[in-house]
Chains A and B, each alone.
Chain A
Amino acid sequence: MSAMDPTEVFRQEASELFEVLEGALLDLGQRPDDRELVDSAFRALHTIKGSGAMFGFDKVASFTHEFETAFDRVRKGEIKPTQELISVALAAKDYIRALIEEPQTTDDIIGEGILDDLKRFVSSDQPASPVAEITEAPSLAPGERKQAGWHLHLEFESHILRNGSNPLDLLEDLCKLGPCFVVPITDGVPFLDEMEPEDCYLKWDVKLHAACDKDAIDDVFMFVQDEMKLTLSPLEHVEAPPAPLFQLLDEEPVPAAMVEMPAPAVEVAPALVVEEPAPKSEIKREAPPVVRREEAKREERGIATVRVQAERLDELMDRVGELVIAQARLTQLASAGSDLSIKMIAEEIERLASSLRDTTMGARMVPIGSLFGRFRRLVHDLSRDLSKPVEFVTSGEDTELDKTMIECLADPLVHLIRNAIDHGIEDSATRAANGKTEQGRIELAAVHSGAQVLVTVKDNGGGLNTARIRAKAEEQGLIAAGAAHSDHEVHQFLFHPGFSTAQTISALSGRGVGMDVVKRTIENMRGSIDLSTQPGQGTTVTLRLPLTLAIIEGLLIRVGEGRYIIPLSAVEECVELTAEDERSRGRNFLNVRGNLVPFLRLRELMTASGRPDKHQKTIIISTGETRVGLVADQIIGNHQTVIKSLSKLHSDVTIFSGATILGDGTAALILDVAQLVAMAQSKVEKHHISEAA
């Protein structure tokens, strides 16, 4: 199965987010005081911005950024979301949607109108403009736009560069008046050997799609009026841009603003070439032919893959689970009888059922590598934009996770990686000063740990600034000044909505929207998130995710009447509990070849009734270095375990990570290895304390 077109994935993701955004905005109209709604609108915006940037929807990202900035005052509670504001916000949302879904039919001028309205509303505490103006805003669109605009022809004197004037700056100023389409005319460029490096040979043709005064344009060229020829004519209609140029542009992924610098222009002013793209790349980039090509591609893919609702796959899996159990009974019956033909049928069904199970599983499980691949581009772009060289290392790509979980993981990981680069990794100078390699390093890893998958994002940056987080928490009134909190507790404030210690708000982060989204998403998946940091060494964020649906190899044991599953990956060995161990009741330590291993009696934990078996067995489990013994009555054997999660009514039960269904149709619980180990550890500590006392 081939991976989906990432752009298409983004479109689908965005359309869900738009629903959230729209819902939140509309509800906000009804309940303007509901902070939760503002937050949820903001989160949706933030994710659209982040993913938009990731998939090259630069316009979406920059517009959303502006939108977000304007909306930020609402979030801070400085102004009330009025009806007018909400209708503008909704118009903005529609515009972003149009940018994503049909970029070729949208026009930047609509966006600018919306942003102006938005800014007007949020800048004055009282909604200054009457409703009349709002209704005007959308009507700025198609009708008026046709007449609005200028066609400019620019010819500079060849010696203009020697006077210190820079035509590119002028073009940039022009772009600030409105969306520009700039075509350089290279006819005048001579051959290389005839070329005077300090002369300007280029002319420009500019289509300015903005209803500005002629004076405004004249102002731009005020200082060079005498050294140039400026021909101005009103633009009658929005012309379809010459297609060939666009194709050229699109094949070579040059940032849009570089249009003004085709190869021969290098001689014009070498210093200019390194200049970064204009801050807002208003220059039109949409290329109708290319879009059509994408559509064709999408159609092809439509045949190859089918999107199925996750619930249907869940249902299918349940049916298969039932089938496997029924088949086990059939096999049992058939083997007891003597009818050879029934035995044959039972075998046939067994074979079919197990391959059906594998297929169904396979349909849901996806290696996490498909997700990791998406972040290379992100890291690359971020590292370039922030000029922080970063090495990106991934491991455990073949760790399989439920498909729905992989999709849910994308957003949190974008946030975490962005945080790691933006806040975690220091700039090269600081790194060098601290004796670190100039290149930062970000590791993204996935690993199975018992019945969980751990996904870690690890950077080797400066670590968390605990003092600053504490100060910020005090400033926001989350904790009392000077109150005693462990570093770990202080770090938890990073997950608080709207909490950010970044001094400046960048396009990447600093609004404090990220981490609470991450936490919420992970918790919705019944997972948990953990931060650990070492000052100067870096920060590691660990996501612990349950395997909501996966088959694991388990060890089936019996404790009293109950049967339980221990994930086999955590089992080290099984030993018999000797009479000597048995006698040392108070100590609860086991001697395993000279090492003392603490053990837990499952009979006590499970409050098992009845008499214990005469020969108790100990299963040694481990997480990393820590080993713990679990004492059970009987070890039954290996068991292919289909993991079912426990319901919310049992979310307070910590020692089980899930349940499964055994061959006879009864449910059995899966032990949470990490929890049991932690429990044993705390017992050991208590034991030490009581001994010391």
Chain B
Amino acid sequence: MNGGQAGEHQADAMQVVMIGLGEEKFALDAGLVREIIDPVPVTKVAGARSFVPSVINVRGNVIPLADLRIRFGMPQTENSADTRIVVIEIEIDNEPVLVGVTADKVYEVTEISQTDVQQTPRVGMHWKPEFIRFITKWREEFVIVPNMERILN
């Protein structure tokens, strides 16, 4: 990376953790991510909303485990060798809350450009537009930057 480019990048670049869910790639703002852990035994919570079906123990804290696949209407898959739990911290009612998010695969921590932002298309998508902050391009692929606060509220 040469100097000129780096300066250019800093203005609109965003540090993200790239994760895979089903066929799609999602970019989670790296600022939200606390840690990435291997799958742990989950405890089902009867009566909870479908996208936060269970809780897990992360370092002595019992935290909810969210399933974005349910929120995005994707089929659920069995855990594989690549499955990870990404622990993020979001604000709910002005209080920080730790939430685990299941990812089918965690690719890497990378930078995405916010200049390539694509307008979220209104049609041709079965996802609620408010769940998506924006869609951008990364290595010639479309990636979704989800709005975690909205998704989990």
Contacts and interface: CB of A to CB of B under 8 A. Distances in A.
B46 interface: yes
A653 B54 CA distance: 11
B139 interface: no
Contact of A667 (B43, B46, B48, B97): B43
B64 A650 contact: yes
Contacts of A650: 45, 48, 52, 55, 64
A654 interface: yes
A562 B46 CA distance: 10
Nearest to B63: A647
B97 A647 contact: yes
B98 A647 contact: yes
A195 to B, nearest CB: 70
Given A606-B44, A653-B45, A653-B48, A667 B62 contact: yes
Contacts of A322: 59-60
Given A647-B63, A655-B46, A669-B43, A661 B57 contact: yes
Contacts of A649: 48-49, 52, 64, 66, 92, 97, 99, 152
Interface string B57-97: 10111111010000000000000000000000000110101
Contacts of A317: 60
B48 A318 contact: no
A254 B49 CA distance: 62
A686 interface: no
Q: How large is the interface on A (under 10, 10 to 19, 20 to 34, 35 or more residues)?
A: 20 to 34
Interface residues of B, number: 27
A317 B59 CA distance: 11
Given A646-B62, A656-B45, A666 B57 contact: yes
Contacts of B99: 647, 649
Nearest to B52: A649
Contacts of A506: none
A222 interface: no
Given A653-B48, A661-B62, A666 B152 contact: no
The 6 A-B pairs with the shortest beta carbon distances in the complex, nearest first, are A318-B60, A321-B60, A659-B62, A667-B43, A606-B46, A644-B62
A668 B43 contact: yes
A653 B152 CA distance: 15
Nearest to A665: B57
B4 interface: no
Contacts of A647: 62-64, 97-99
Given A317-B60, A661-B62, A667-B57, 6 more contacts: A318-B60, A319-B60, A561-B44, A605-B46, A647-B64, A659-B62
Interface string A645-688: 01111101111100111001111110000000000000000000
B43 A562 contact: yes
B86 to A, nearest CB: 15
B40 interface: yes
Nearest to A644: B62
